[in-house]
Amino acid sequence: MALTRDDVVDAAVRLLAEVGLEGLSLRRLARELGVSAPTLYWHVADKRTLLDHVAERLLVDQWHVTPPAPGEDWADWLRERATRQYRALVTHRDAALVVAGNRPTEAAMPAVEQVLGTLVGAGFAPTQAFAAIQAVGNLVIGSALEYQAERERDTAVDASEGTAHDAARFPQHAALTAVLADRSEHGADHEALFRHGLELMIAGLRVQLGDAVAPA
């Protein structure tokens, strides 16, 4: 059976996980497929558009449009969606970089529509809902990107000097590291950090909606 574009994209995703974005070359990909490099150009216009397809593949799970359960709080629903999206990025190597450079495709439309509708249904003005989606999306990609960049840096530098800074010059840092000391290793809870930011944003959305600041 002849090669399919889906085969190419699949292999690209696998190879991306294995060697990262830097190591993902068309020649290497072709070798993986047992094919010569120019052959790929029959299936794909361009490396860039190949990466667009890869990005789409990485996010495709997110596009099962799942409306909120009846009676479910819009905030809970939104938090769940955003967290899923974050996880999808973070669990695939260099996914944030690939997705960031991506042209959005038609396929994402129903998902956006779904979120838009839910927020409007919750009482937001359409422009507010739109801005909220954008804001949450930007937070997600920024967080994922920063985490993955840091992760890659660490594996690259490996034995860098410890972060022994001058406690006198940077007292706030000193206080912080004391508090952070009893957490696990480097950037242990990147997801917790992301969720903290997400929580701030959701709280802001609640305020915007005019909800009583609920919990007491």
Q: Kindly list the residues in this chain that would bind DNA in the complex (CB under 7 A).
A: 2-3, 24-28, 30, 34-39, 41-43, 46-48
Helices (H) and strands (E) in the chain, counts: 10, 0
Residue type, 60: V
Query: Judged by CB under 8 A, does residue 76 bind its own copies?
Result: no
Query: Judged by CB under 8 A, does residue 120 bind its own copies?
Result: yes
Kindly give, in sequence order, each residue whose CB lies less than 8 Å from that of residue 61, ignoring residues fewer than 6 positions away: 84, 88
Closest distance of CB 2 from its own copies, Å: 30
DSSP 37: G
For residues 162 and 26, give the distance between their C-alpha atoms in angstroms, rounded to a whole number: 38
Specify whether the CB–CB gap between 99 and 59 falls below 8 A.
yes
Query: Judged by CB under 8 A, does residue 130 bind its own copies?
Result: yes
| C-beta closer to its own copies: residue 35 or 116 | 116
Interface residues for its own copies in 135-154 (CB under 8 A)? 135, 137-143, 145-146, 149, 153
Query: How many Cβ atoms from other residues are within 10 Å of residue 46's Cβ?
Result: 10
Q: What residues make contact with its own copies under the rule CB under 8 A?
A: 97, 100-103, 109-110, 112-113, 116-117, 120, 126-127, 129-132, 134-135, 137-143, 145-146, 149, 153, 157, 165, 169-173, 175-176, 179-180, 193-194, 196-197, 199-208, 210-211, 213, 215-216
